[in-house]
Structure 1
Amino acid sequence: MGTVDAQLSEKQERSIGQSTAWLNVWEGSVRSGKTIASLLRWLMYVETAPAGGELVVIGKTFDTVARNVFGPLTDPSLFGPAAKMIKYTRGASVAWILGRQIEVITANDAKAEGRLRGLTGAGAYVDELTLIPKEFFKRLVDRMSVTGALIFATTNPDNPGHWARKDWLNRASELGIRSWHFTLDDNPALSAEYVARMKKAFTGLWYRRFILGQWVMSEGAIYEAFDPAHHIVDDVPLIGRWLCDAIDYGTVNPFADLLIGLGIDQRLYVTSEYRHDSRTARKQMTDAEYSAARRRWLAAMPHPRTNVVGVQPEWTVVDPSAASFIEQLHRDGVPGVTPADNTVLDGIRTVATLFGADRLRVHRSAAGLIDELPGYSWDDEAAAKGGEDKPIKQDDHSVDALRYGVRTTEALWRPHIPTLLEVAA
């Protein structure tokens, strides 16, 4: 099969040699070496896996599977000659590893459980275990019916009440499970400069989970790194790219629209905000009125440090639940209208990372957003009772718009912000 070309730590080698339980879990911080160790073990298993059953790779989406599993596996600098014996096309439901057919199954919602029907499992690799639905994983375990079938899984820490920890990891001795905990400092392949940059990029909850590798509850302020004295600015540099205006739609609740651009200083800027609160104004607006108000707002927008007036952002990112307003924008000929990426925790983490790395700033005119940011907090009751990370649904209209815009346009801005190029969960 060949050997991994990258240097392995003693902990990685130990986890590979000891992962002979029916379920083996590598858990801990980002970039800690757990993925490389688990993938090498998976290759070793595929080479000798029992016949008469199917081998599967499980991930939240085809994109995450391609990035987290087959990206490293097909990299010769990591897996040497073995990388040439791995064939996978992004989005395909079948891969070939060392001459053996591998089923690729996604599990991003409750309906995903049905994709396992009829499976006679001889082994599985599970990427990002905590992002897989609880019932899907239970069904996967039940389907590993071939004698000698083993499961290998990786995960970052989550809420300590998460089902993966409560139902499986905390019962490791009882259930015959093996697990290994990794931190960022366990990866010998990382330079001291990179480790320092990673530690600086994450703050608060994300630092404790993704850098220290701790299973901790979400509590307190969500954007702990947000510092009004630093992140609120009176002047904005020249904007090299107007990424989007991002809309959290409301009729009774406030309507919030943020204009977001990429500055020539390689930072994101919220340069302006249009906001209408029907309760305060004592006037509700129709979809057509909101669309017209948006056009007037953008048409009057000055470009920072130029004499140009009027902004046409590349995308108009809209609350995905606002179907009627999206339709109105299409009728009005607005280009680039798209429903927002509403993956809440991923969006929050991205915004928090930008604040922590000082790559996101807000112009003082965005008063609604500035008012909401300090009080945007985790729902402690949901975390304590159900092990669920979610924000309190109160005074969150402009912060939701910020999350929509930043997350949905990430592919456009991330290549231009150097400190975040390698920051990933």
Structure 2
Amino acid sequence: MLRDLDLPLSPAQIRSIVESQDAPIALWSGAVSSGKTIASLIAFLLRLAVAPDHGLVVVVGRTLQTIERNLIDPLQSSYLFGPLAKHVHHTTGSTIATILGRTVHLIGASDARAEGRIRGSTIALAYVDEATLVPYEFWMMLLSRLRVGDQSRLLATTNPDGPFHWLRKEFIQRGLAVGLHHWHFTLDDNPSLAPTMVARLKAQYTGLWYRRFILGDWCLASGAVFDTFDDTRHVVDILPDMRRWMAVGIDYGTVNPFVGLLIGHGVDERLYVASEYRHDSRTALRQLTDAQYSKGVQSWLASYDHKGVQGVRPDWIFIDPSASSFMTQMWADGVQGIAKADNDVKDGIRSVSMALGANILSVHRSCAGLLGELPSYAWDEKAALAGEDKPLKVNDHSCDALRYGLHSTAHEWRHLVRGTLEVAA
């Protein structure tokens, strides 16, 4: 089978592929784009070709969409897998694929309830994408379902997480005792990466994410969340002309502050938080209704003056998904572009960190609430010691609004990171 591939493979990749064939649990971890996924998929195909017929074959990811994007799409690439790609059949949205003639079940495992999808099954071969994102309950159930004697295999990949994550504490550090073989990959282990791509990847991650996703460290989330924020570099008094007003991010609050942030895409190919709408009921000694908040947001946008032009109409208004009554009010008032914000906290923080680290995001000095929160927005170290990454829920309302606006539009501005790198070169 390997003769059918025309891929350059590093010594680390080849060693892991060979050694994994006899490992009850095989885990590839390390930096992003370090070649671990390609090595693990080759190992999976080799095991699939000899997997026992009396047992299921399953591929697990956070969602069906991530499985399709991270695994099925590469497997169907003739550039990566040559003639083998013709033996991978899948209809988008289906929970079944056919690979090398075997039926493969695709299972999304985004929460603990997912373990019910494999309960009672007998599994011969399992592949898990991004194992640290799979619930502990699902992982343990999966292990209990590998019941085809000593022929069952579990292959998994992951980027590092915190040092107290259950995968590291209970499996990596106890590898021999639990039958786990582990290979750690760095960017140097991927012979397909061009130097420009390596530089681009390094530019996209900062702070905690750089240590985990570039250096491959299992490190603690501690200190400031946005540790690259620098008011001398990220705060501006004058805004450029805007190509468009990309989004408003809104964090809803009644007792807590209600915050809206207006984000624009400048003609200089950078992002700007141009204006902030903020109502703090504790300071104002007055709570507002949904209708009053809707009117306030509309008045704020209609009265905002940019270089003598009054009024802006953002492409999107992303609202805290839990604020369903406020969204209903905005829709009833005929406000355009209303959508639920993407509220994945860690991914949202990573998007903001990327923009700050690449120096493509600036904040206008008038946004006092956001500028007051950014330096003090910190990781919850007690949660980190328990294996969970989350920020302290203190003075975070403007930071949440920024996360909503930026992360929900990340696919529209990530190319700007590459642009700043090319200018620097």
The two structures share one fold, judged by TM-score above 0.5: yes
In the alignment, structure 1 residue 358 sits paired with structure 2 residue 359: yes
Aligned to 1:326: 327
Q: Is the 8 A contact 2:369 2:398 kept in 1?
A: yes
Shift of 1:73: 1.1
Alignment of 1:277-356 (within 5 A): 277-303=280-306, 305=307, 307-356=308-357
Contact 1:233 1:362 in 2 (8 A): yes
Q: Which AA in structure 1 matches 2:38?
A: I
In the alignment, which residue of structure 2 is the partner of 1:112? 114
Q: What one-letter code is carried by the residue in structure 2 that aligns with 1:64?
A: T
Cα deviation for residue 169 of structure 1 reads 1.1
Inter-CA distance 55–100: structure 2 relative to 1 (3 Å threshold): same
1:204-283 matched pairs, under 5 angstroms: 204-283=207-286
Show the 5 A alignment for 1:6-85. 6-19=7-20, 20-85=22-87
TM-score by length of 2: 0.95
Q: Distance in 1 between matches of 2:420 and 2:12?
A: 27
CA–CA distance in structure 2, aligned partners of residues 238 and 98 of structure 1? 55
Aligned length: 418
CA contact (8 A) 1:62 1:90 kept: no
Alpha-carbon distance in structure 2 between the residues aligned to 1:120 and 1:238: 61
Native 8 Å contact 1:55 1:124 kept in 2: yes
C-alpha distance in structure 2 between counterparts of 1:412 and 1:333, whole Å:
25
CA contact (8 A) 2:225 2:378 kept: yes
Distance 1:408 1:74 in 2: 29
CA RMSD of aligned residues (A): 1.6
Alpha-carbon distance in structure 1 between the residues aligned to 2:131 and 2:321? 27
Q: Kindly provide the CA deviation profile for residues 186-227 of structure 1, in whole angstroms up to 9, marking residues without a partner as x.
A: 222112222123223211111111111000110001111111
1:309 positional shift: 2.1
Matches of 2:420 and 2:332, distance apart in 1: 37
Separation (CA, whole Å) in 2 of partners of 1:406 and 1:117: 39
CA distance in 2, matches of 1:160, 1:381: 13
In 2, the alpha carbon distance for the partners of 1:419 and 1:14 equals: 37
Cα distance in 2 for partners of 1:211, 1:317 equals 31
2:359 aligned with 1:396? no
Q: Is the 8 A contact 2:203 2:357 kept in 1?
A: yes
Contact 2:200 2:418 in 1 (8 A): no
Q: CA deviation at 1:178?
A: 0.5
* Secondary structure, aligned partner of 2:172: helix
The residue identity in structure 2 corresponding to 1:343 is D
Q: Note the alpha carbon deviations across 1:347-399, whole angstroms, 9 max, x for none.
A: 10111011111122111111111110011000111112x11111011010000
> Quick one: percent identity of the two aligned structures?
53
Structure 1 residues 420 and 37: alpha-carbon distance in aligned structure 2, compared to 1, 3 A threshold? farther
Contact 1:208 1:214 in 2 (8 A): yes
Give distance in 2, aligned partners of 1:168 and 1:59: 19
Q: Secondary structure of 2:244's partner?
A: strand
Alpha-carbon distance in 1 for matches of 2:382, 2:177: 30
Matches within 5 A, 1:57-206: 57-147=59-149, 148-206=151-209
SS at match of 2:309: coil
Could you tell me how far 1:241 is from its partner in structure 2?
A: 2.6
Distance 2:51 2:293 in 1: 60
Instruction: Say if 1:347 and 1:407, in contact at 8 Å, map to a contact too.
Output: yes
Aligned 8 A contact 2:360 2:416 in 1: no
- Which deviates more from structure 2 when the two are superposed, residues 342-351 or residues 403-412? 403-412
What's the secondary structure of 1:257's corresponding residue?
A: strand
* Equivalent position amino acid for 2:356 in 1: F
TM-score, normalization by structure 1:
0.95
Which residue does 1:375 correspond to in 2?
Answer: 376
Contact 1:414/1:420, CA 8 A, preserved across alignment: no
Distance 1:37 1:325 in 2: 48
Partner secondary structure for residue 224 of structure 1: coil
